[in-house]
Amino acid sequence: MSSRNPIRHLLERPNSDPMKSIGMAAIIAACCALIVSVTAVALRPKIEVNRLAARASQMSAMLEGVPGIAELLEGGGIETFVVDLAAGRISDTDPATFDQNAAAADPERSIALSAADDLAAISRRENEALVWMVRDNGEVKLLVLPVRGAGYQSTIRAYLALEGDLNTVAAFTVYEQGETPGLGSRVAEAEFSRGWAGKKIAEDGTIMIDASAGASGPYEVEMISGASVTTYGTVDMVHFWLGELGFGPFIENLREGTAWP
């Protein structure tokens, strides 16, 4: 006995048959899911290119607003390096092909963080990380670091730019977040970013930067009203990434002139 085509068998059922309605709904849903999946895969490279372009644009806008940097950018531009975080030195890894997000997710290229060490609440820290520098005759005038950490309901990703003394914030901008609209999402607004410029990071080797309402001291940034968890999450991630498990050793070696291979 020859088997009947199940699709044809379904179509031959009367329109009043509940099984036909359920079957047709399932077929349509499956087709739509397939179309969405294929489209997502096909567009993924373009989406990634657009995402990286948007981030580059945000960094450029941030740097152009730093006094005295625009001229240096026109002269020599910004250099990109990969840093070995444990060694605190420039790595020989090619920054053009280095995927920091992939490294953070790879157990062989990252380390698991204990609860005591994981101030940024990121679970794992990549062994290598990107940094950007603006130099003038070999002297570092600006150091840009990628920092990330947990906010109230999302991972906050930002660029932190330090002046040549490596202790003064030149600029700060959040380029990715998913915090509560109108509250925590204000972490990505210009008003919050401007509050970081000129603030000091550490004193006698101790990281001091913090947040408070009515911030006025050299180490204080303004608290976002109604979003204390988001604000403190941002401060905590800066503490982590400027600490011993983050860029701390590299910054120290950079000061001493021993950060280069």
Same domain, 173 and 234: yes
Alpha carbon distance 145, 158 (integer Å): 8
* 14 CB-near residues (< 8 Å, 6+ apart): 20
Q: Are residues 11 and 107 in the same domain?
A: no
Average pLDDT over residues 10-21: 73
pLDDT of residue 126: 98
Residue 16 confidence class, pLDDT cut points 50, 70, 90: confident
For residues 206-225, average pLDDT: 94
- Which among 132, 62, 119 is positioned nearest to 234, based on CA atoms? 119
pLDDT given for residue 140 in this prediction = 92
Within a domain: 209: yes
Same domain? 168 vs 77: yes
Q: Are residues 149 and 210 in the same domain?
A: yes
In the chain, the largest separation of any two C-alpha atoms, in whole Å, equals 88
Tell me, yes or no, whether 38 and 76 share the same domain. Answer: no
Q: What is the pLDDT of residue 217?
A: 92
26 or 85, greater pLDDT: 85
Q: What is the pLDDT of residues 138-184, one digit of tens each?
A: 899 999 999 999 999 999 999 999 999 999 999 999 999 999 999 99
Q: Is residue 159 part of a domain?
A: yes
Domain span at residue 228 reads: 65-256
Structural domains of the chain, count: 2
pLDDT at residue 69, rounded to an integer: 66
**pTM strictly above 0.85:** no
pLDDT in tens, 23-55: 777 878 888 887 887 776 765 555 545 554 555
Asked, for residue 60, whether it belongs to a domain, the answer is no
Asked whether residue 228 carries a pLDDT value surpassing 70, the answer given is: yes
Kindly state whether residues 19 and 108 are assigned to the same domain: no
In this structure, is residue 22 part of a structural domain?
A: yes
Least confident of 49-63, 173-187, 221-235: 49-63
Q: What pLDDT is stored for residue 1 in this prediction?
A: 45
